[in-house]
């Protein structure tokens, strides 16, 4: 008995020691990151405070503080007030103790607020010693990966659980100790011995000792090579920034918690936070807002995740699937456009331990039978979905629908198929960054598939009342976060409208299109005569400038004809075959992915041509730092989606967007009409404190917009047929 007790205690002590050592190693790695980050963050905050005029202190104190004497003494910014301190302020004539204390208190309030909003940016093109130190410190933890996170979680449980049990079990290791321990102490020792045995056996069965050992090795590696650290950062900057945000959130620089939770009602947000999330089958570390998104999908079961492009909706969906797999679910189905099917299978394999099965092409029915027997995550298209037999009600663990706005028309065949599958599944997740493009009724139709009771609450009263009531009504089924609220580290997005005067040839082509009443021809008329096209000339200049700086460019147009013209103009200028595309709806998914991969892998400058409906959704183009839009788009969300393919989590350079526009023609008319549509989208699909619009303001269809513009241009030019 004593020998058995000693063995149990030894095993417990060995495990406890390994857990404590890992926690210490992890703490040192985390401290190294925070120590490298703190001076960078402090300098950013100081720089911001140096730009804030001292009279802002009056606003902080609601007019109670008079700063005229302080400003007259040369302390014209908030940072100078902080630098002066109480003693320096008291030396200013007319500034007493109360005024000095008030000024300093107000300055500290502003400093705290600034510290919570500024974020450290890591400039890969201009590394400095301090930013290099931070990247190197982060690399150690990034390289350790999700397994280290799980090891730390397991070590924390063991450290807090085994420690007290080992203390209580000491007497059981020897006869004399037990003899002198007393009855109550002996009972506690025996109970502790049982507890230690259970914990060590469970840890062994779960592979925890090996997990702890590997994590310790990973965290004890030597300092990273600086150049290698920067290369690794550029390849997976999203992981670096995500980890940095997590480790420094308490010290400021993290996203606003309310924004990260999509401004949901407090009671709902609290319930979501309480939802467990098992990461056993996950291979990626989630950011705070991503973890909340996954928990929201689990807690609410049937929801729309409407995060803005670039925030990692796919990762959040995979986290949900991984959790359900850990709970024993075996079959999952992802429905998506054909163009992103390959991307989904890659993400599943790279970011989870789940099996990916593509249900696409001639062998899709054999693949369906294989998936039904072996389980995993099946990925199929909207079109193929209609040809598969539905699973039993309890057989499908979760249905995920990517780019779910494709099923907004309740009468369409794809919508009916998705609704039928969703009706037989407890967990359904719709992913879309554009839940409402033109009509609130379309958004209501998505919610109706998921939560009919919530859809019934989105009535005309809510719509007329405006966006606040609308968002409150859909909160149980809808979560949306915006880049600007949760990705403070995103590099700058520089948007330039390039207005060009039409050449004589352009004007002739445009007038001919107007006379014919051909809206689409009007939109592409600026490229009808390539050699004399003002827009094309400017596009070539922008590409040449990007080439001189070694930058990658994505060119978007709604028209394949325009992309053909651009390709012919650029082809001779692109050395080494660095012109990729065009990507269009007719390009098979596999070839589309090869084009995107080739574009991303090309060293230095390259150009990718893409039709905006095909290349603006569901793909990642963060290799690009220049985006050129050949013409304005009919839908206000189309351009946002396209730009977000480049300006997204993982981008490390500023993104420059150039929209080519022709003066005094269809481009200008479109912008005038679409400005109202864009404001309305913000009011309903984003958080908004203004814009209480009526439902009829949303109803501007593509057809009515085209007809209106054609008629206006025919009247203006006197070119009616």
261-270, 573-582, 605-614, 705-714: least confident range? 573-582
Which of 65-74, 190-199, 216-225, 547-556 has the least mean pLDDT?
A: 216-225
Cβ-based neighbour number of residue 70 at 10 Å: 24
Instruction: Give pLDDT, residue 643.
Output: 84
pLDDT of residue 697: 31
Task: State whether 558 and 622 are in the same domain.
Answer: yes
Report the range of poorest mean pLDDT among 433-442, 509-518, 601-610.
Answer: 433-442
Residues 318 and 398 in one domain: yes
Residue with tokens 């009724």: 441
Q: Do 332 and 376 touch, CB atoms closer than 8 A?
A: yes
Considering only CA atoms, which of 298, 310, 219 is closest in space to residue 649?
A: 310
- Of the two residues 365 and 651, the one the predictor is more confident about is 365
H or E element at residue 379: strand 376-381
Return left, alpha or beta for 115; rule: phi > 0 is left, psi -120 to 50 is alpha, else beta.
Answer: alpha
Q: Which of 485, 511, 527 corresponds to the end of one domain?
A: 485
Q: Which residues make Cβ contacts (< 8 Å) with residue 537, sequence separation at least 6?
A: none
State the pLDDT confidence band at 209, using cuts at 50, 70 and 90. very high
The residue among 675 and 95 whose pLDDT is bigger is 95
pLDDT score of 689: 30
- Evaluated on CA atoms 657, 662, 665, 668, the torsion sign reads positive
Q: What is the pLDDT of residue 459?
A: 60
What CATH number has the domain bearing residue 280?
Answer: 3.40.50.10810
CA atoms of 689 and 686, how far apart (whole Å): 10
| Residue 650 CB partners (closer than 8 Å, separation 6+) | 236, 237, 238, 310, 620, 622
CA distances to 55, 66, 526, 665 from 91, rounded to whole Å, are 19, 16, 68, 65
Claim to verify: residue 220 and residue 87 sit in the same structural domain = yes
The span from the CA of 621 to the CA of 583, in Å, is 12
pLDDT of residue 297: 97
Residue finishing a domain among 223, 254, 285: 254
Mean per-residue pLDDT of the chain: 84
**Poorest-pLDDT segment among 84-98, 311-325, 534-548, 648-662:** 648-662
Sorting pLDDT into bands at 50, 70 and 90, what band is 464?
very low
**627 and 496 in a common domain:** yes
The yes-or-no verdict on residue 677 having pLDDT over 80 is no
Higher confidence at residue 412 or residue 338? 412
Query: What local confidence, expressed as pLDDT, does residue 600 receive?
Result: 86
Q: 629 with 671, same domain?
A: yes
Does one domain contain both 537 and 615? yes
465: confidence class by pLDDT, cuts 50, 70, 90: very low
231-235, 356-360, 537-541, 690-694: range with lowest mean pLDDT: 690-694
Q: Which domain holds residue 285?
A: 255-485
272-281, 360-369, 696-705: range with lowest mean pLDDT: 696-705
Least confident of 1-5, 91-95, 339-343, 599-603: 1-5
pLDDT value of position 121: 86
Mean pLDDT in residue range 5-21: 88
Residue with the bigger pLDDT between 255 and 152: it is: 152
How far from 272 is each of 266, 277, 420, CA to CA, in Å? 10, 10, 27
CB-side neighbour CA atoms (13 Å) of 475: 19
Same-domain status, 248 and 366: no
Concatenate the DSSP letters of all residues of 501-532 into one string. PPPHHHHHHHHHHHHTT-HHHHHHGGGSSGGG
| pLDDT, mean of residues 32-42 | 94
pLDDT at 694 over 50: no
Closest CA to 309 of 487, 432, 485: 432
Q: Which range among 446-460, 496-510, 547-561, 628-642 shows the weakest confidence by mean pLDDT?
A: 446-460
Task: Give tens-digit pLDDT for 51-75.
Answer: 999 988 888 777 778 888 998 999 9
| CATH number of residue 538's parent domain | 3.40.50.300
Residue range 94-135, pLDDT digits in tens: 888 999 999 999 999 989 888 887 888 888 878 999 999 999
Q: Are residues 265 and 336 in the same domain?
A: yes
- Residue 535 — very low, low, confident or very high, per pLDDT cuts 50/70/90? very high
Q: Are residues 98 and 151 in the same domain?
A: yes
pLDDT of 87: 92
Block residue for tokens 């917009």: 705
The pLDDT, as a whole number, for residue 16 is 92
- HSE-CB at 633 with a 13 A cutoff on CA atoms is 22
Q: pTM above the 0.75 mark?
A: no
Contact 141, 232 (CB under 8 A): no
549 and 592 both lie in a single domain: yes
Give the rounded percent of residues in the chain with a pLDDT score beyond 70.
Answer: 86
Q: Domain boundary residue among 254, 281, 302?
A: 254
Q: Is the pLDDT of residue 168 over 90?
A: no
pLDDT band at 530 (very low <50, low <70, confident <90, very high): very high
182/220: higher pLDDT:
220
Q: How far apart are CA 441 and CA 458, in angstroms?
A: 9
Residues 507 and 604 in one domain: yes
Rounded to whole angstroms, the Cα distance separating 477 from 157 reads 34
The answer on pLDDT for 546 being more than 70 is yes
Q: Is the dihedral of CA 258, 260, 264, 268 positive or negative?
A: negative
Do both 317 and 438 map to the same domain?
yes
* Domain count of the fold of the chain: 3
| Half-sphere exposure (Cβ direction) of 673: Cα atoms closer than 13 Å | 24
Distance CA 162, CA 19 (A): 10
Q: Are 305 and 166 in contact (CB under 8 A)?
A: no
247 vs 240: CA distance, rounded Å: 11
- Pairing verdict, β 428-431 and 579-583: unpaired
């Amino acid at each position: 008995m004593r020998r058995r007790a000693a063995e149990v205690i030894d095993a417990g002590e060995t495990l406890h020691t390994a857990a404590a050592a890992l926690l210490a190693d992890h703490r040192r790695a985390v401290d190294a990151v925070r120590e490298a980050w703190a001076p960078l963050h402090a300098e950013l905050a100081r720089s911001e405070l140096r730009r804030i005029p001292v009279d802002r202190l009056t606003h902080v104190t609601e007019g109670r503080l008079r700063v005229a004497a302080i400003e007259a003494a040369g302390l014209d910014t908030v940072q100078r007030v902080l630098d002066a301190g109480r003693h320096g302020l008291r030396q200013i004539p007319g500034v007493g103790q109360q005024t000095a204390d008030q000024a300093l208190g107000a300055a500290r309030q502003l400093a705290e607020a600034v510290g919570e909003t500024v974020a450290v940016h890591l400039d890969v093109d201009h590394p400095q010693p301090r930013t290099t130190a931070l990247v190197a410190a982060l690399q150690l933890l990034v390289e350790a990966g999700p397994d280290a996170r799980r090891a730390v979680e397991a070590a924390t449980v063991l450290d807090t659980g085994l420690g007290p049990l080992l203390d209580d079990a000491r007497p059981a290791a020897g006869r004399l100790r037990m003899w002198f321990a007393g009855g109550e102490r002996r009972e506690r020792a025996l109970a502790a011995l049982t507890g230690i045995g259970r914990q060590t056996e469970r840890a062994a069965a779960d592979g925890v000792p090996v997990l702890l050992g590997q994590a310790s090795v990973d965290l004890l590696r030597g300092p990273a090579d600086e150049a290698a650290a920067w290369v690794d950062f550029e390849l997976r900057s999203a992981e670096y920034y995500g980890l940095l945000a997590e480790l420094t959130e308490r010290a400021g620089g993290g996203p606003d918690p309310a924004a990260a939770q999509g401004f949901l009602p407090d009671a709902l947000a609290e319930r979501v936070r309480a939802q467990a999330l098992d990461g056993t089958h996950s291979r990626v570390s989630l950011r705070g807002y991503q973890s909340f998104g996954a928990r929201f999908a689990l807690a609410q079961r049937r929801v729309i995740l409407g995060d803005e492009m670039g925030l990692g909706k796919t990762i959040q969906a995979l986290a949900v699937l991984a959790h359900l797999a850990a709970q024993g679910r075996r079959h999952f189905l992802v429905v998506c456009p054909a163009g992103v099917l390959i991307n989904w299978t890659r993400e599943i394999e790279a970011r989870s331990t789940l099996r990916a099965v593509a249900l696409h092409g001639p062998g899709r029915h054999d693949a369906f039978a294989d998936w039904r027997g072996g389980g995993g995550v099946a990925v199929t298209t909207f079109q193929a979905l209609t040809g598969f037999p539905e699973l039993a009600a309890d057989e499908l663990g979760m249905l995920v629908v990517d780019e779910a706005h494709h099923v907004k028309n309740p009468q369409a065949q794809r919508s009916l198929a998705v609704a039928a599958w969703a009706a037989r599944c407890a967990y359904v997740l719709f992913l879309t960054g554009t839940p409402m493009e033109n009509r609130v009724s379309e958004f209501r139709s998505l919610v109706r598939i998921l939560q009919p009771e919530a859809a019934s609450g989105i009535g005309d009263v809510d719509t007329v009342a405006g966006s606040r009531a609308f968002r409150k009504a859909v909160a149980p089924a809808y979560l949306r976060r915006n880049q600007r609220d949760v990705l403070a580290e995103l590099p700058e997005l520089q948007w330039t409208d390039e207005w060009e005067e039409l050449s004589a040839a352009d004007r002739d082509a445009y007038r001919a299109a107007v006379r014919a009443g051909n809206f689409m021809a009007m939109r592409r008329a600026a490229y009808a005569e390539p050699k004399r096209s003002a827009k094309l000339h400017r596009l070539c200049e922008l590409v040449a400038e990007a080439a001189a700086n070694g930058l990658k460019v994505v060119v978007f147009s709604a028209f394949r004809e325009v992309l053909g013209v651009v390709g012919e103009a650029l082809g001779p200028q692109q050395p080494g075959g660095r012109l990729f595309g065009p990507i269009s709806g007719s390009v098979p998914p596999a070839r589309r992915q090869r084009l995107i991969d080739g574009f991303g892998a090309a060293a230095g400058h390259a150009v990718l041509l893409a039709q905006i409906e095909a290349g603006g959704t569901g793909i990642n183009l963060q290799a690009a730092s220049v985006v050129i839009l050949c013409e304005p788009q009919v839908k206000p969300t189309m351009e946002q989606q396209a730009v977000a393919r480049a300006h997204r989590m993982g981008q490390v350079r500023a993104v420059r967007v150039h929209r080519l526009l022709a003066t005094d023609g269809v481009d200008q008319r479109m912008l005038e009409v679409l400005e109202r549509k864009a404001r309305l989208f913000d009011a309903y699909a984003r958080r908004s404190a203004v814009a209480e619009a009526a439902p009829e303001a949303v109803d501007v269809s593509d057809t009515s917009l085209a007809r209106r513009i054609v008629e206006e241009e025919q009247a203006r030019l006197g070119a009616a047929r």
